[in-house]
Amino acid sequence: MKHDLWRDAEIAETLGIRLPQVQALRTDAQAVRLTRGRGVIDLAIGECLCELFKEDRLLQLGYSRQVDYIRERMGLPRRTMFEWKELAEGLRTRRLLRQAVVAGVVTPRKALTVLPVAQGEEEGYWIRAAMTATVLELRQAVRAAGREPGGDTFETETIWLKMTAEQQDVLDAAIAAARETLGLGAERWKCLEAISQEWLGTCGALVPDEPGAEGAPAPAPQPMDADAWRAELEERTAAITRQLRAIDEAFFVIQEERPCDGDARALDARLQRLLEARRSYDEAFGPLADEIVYGRAWEELGYGSLEEYCRERLGMGARTVRGRAWLQGKISALPELGEALYSGRLTYSKALLVARHATPHDLEERIAAAAATTCQQTEREGTEEEDRQNREAGVRRLWGPQDAVRTVTDAILSAQAAWEGIHGEPADAGQALALVAAYFLKVHEEHHPGQSMPRERREVLMRDGGT
């Protein structure tokens, strides 16, 4: 370890930069190498999915919906499936751009951005642009060409509110009423957005010009332990070697024009091999994500924010990198969780759900329960447990796509302004959201008199997630 630190110190002195910058550059180089390899794996998975989703091949595997397969069999968010499919289908007719992604000189995110314009004689021009320009610059250029950029990312945002149990009851009742219109399977953030839009339709003019809603505070940077860093470095070297072998597997799939000749079970088996390759990537990337987020390597490299670094340098969403860094911290504290994830016993989505509430005393029990049930059931049970804990603590967590959270925030600010205008005193954010929810319930009852479902049935549907 002393040799490594001396070497880094010599590099810092030679280049005239600080030692943390040298360490950040080392982390960045390894992270970029890994993410470039991940593009090959993602493209290979996308091409297999395109073949698997043809005709009745999913039915042969016992799945009726693409979303069910991607969540339960692959253990990944459905938005990831749509991105992979869009990438694979778009690159099928853009051979030069496809080769650039496979070679790692263009990230999948940049490729998705220029898909609408990288066609015919213009393909080469947009490949050169993607190799040098930022994602934001590419989006502006695509719009300047009269098209909308592809591959819009699903970045989410979280806000925390103080809410009493009575206020949360009003909000839950409004969510249940919104599901009667949107569908009993509607996600919670969609219901919150609809509730907020109803209020803004009447009181939207009260939204202040300069909103100041605050979200959860960012975690504080953690100091680096020299011995632990050396151990992680040695472990990461072995993980990177496994990840490079995984990329070879992806190249094997990429080079086949018609993999498996439409055999559903063979396609499924190949997807499982690619997922194993992706787990190797994830194992190597975890410690790097931890250094990027909590070590603030992006700051040492001169980027204005973590979002900018992840988008432009890694071609990934900041939420994805934050989530992986958070999970790495849980794995460090609970090594059995990492063993279950990397062995394939738990999918990535289930590992995140288990890590949310697991302790050393009940970890094995939670892993066994998650491995024996569906991802949806695991998520439902985790959400219910989190809701109970938050209710006892008098807080409420709201999350969703950034535009949906912005709508909810605007409704809260508008309700606060309305309350202060009527009562002459300020209202906290939780009280304001309860006011928005109560207004939605009133409007819903006026438009559907006597049609609201009985309280007992609503409670059952809320308890069982609409099923």
Same domain for 143 and 50? yes
Tokens for 12? 């810092």
Specify the pLDDT at position 216. Answer: 41
394: alpha, beta or left? (left if phi > 0; alpha if psi -120 to 50): left
Same domain for 302 and 314? yes
Nearest to 287 by CA among 80, 76, 36, 30: 30
**Does residue 120 lie in a domain region?**
yes
Expressed as residue numbers, the domain containing 214 is 156-218+391-463
Specify the pLDDT at position 3. Answer: 40
- pLDDT at residue 57 greater than cutoff 70: yes
Same domain for 378 and 422? no
Distance CA 229, CA 330 (A): 17
**Does residue 378 lie in a domain region?**
yes
Tokens for 21? 């910058």
Crossing angle of the two packed helices 188-203 and 402-423, in degrees rounded to 10: 40
Same domain for 147 and 281? yes
Same domain for 425 and 386? no
User: pTM higher than 0.95, yes or no?
Assistant: no
Same domain for 308 and 426? no
Specify the pLDDT at position 226. Answer: 46
List pLDDT tens digits, range 158-215: 889 999 989 999 999 999 999 888 877 778 888 999 999 999 888 877 676 544 333 4
Same domain for 350 and 407? no
Helices and strands, number each (H, E), in the chain: 23, 2
Same domain for 209 and 234? no
**Does residue 328 lie in a domain region?**
no
Domain count, the chain: 3
Same domain for 232 and 266? yes
Contacts 24+ apart (CB under 8 A), 372-379: 374/72, 375/71, 375/72, 375/75, 375/347, 375/349, 375/350, 376/71, 376/72, 376/465, 378/350, 378/353, 378/354, 379/349, 379/353
Same domain for 36 and 131? yes
**Does residue 325 lie in a domain region?**
no
**Does residue 310 lie in a domain region?**
yes
**Mean model confidence pLDDT for the chain:** 80
Same domain for 86 and 173? no
**Does residue 355 lie in a domain region?**
yes
Q: Which of 286, 320, 354 is the last residue before a domain boundary? A: 320
**Does residue 279 lie in a domain region?**
yes
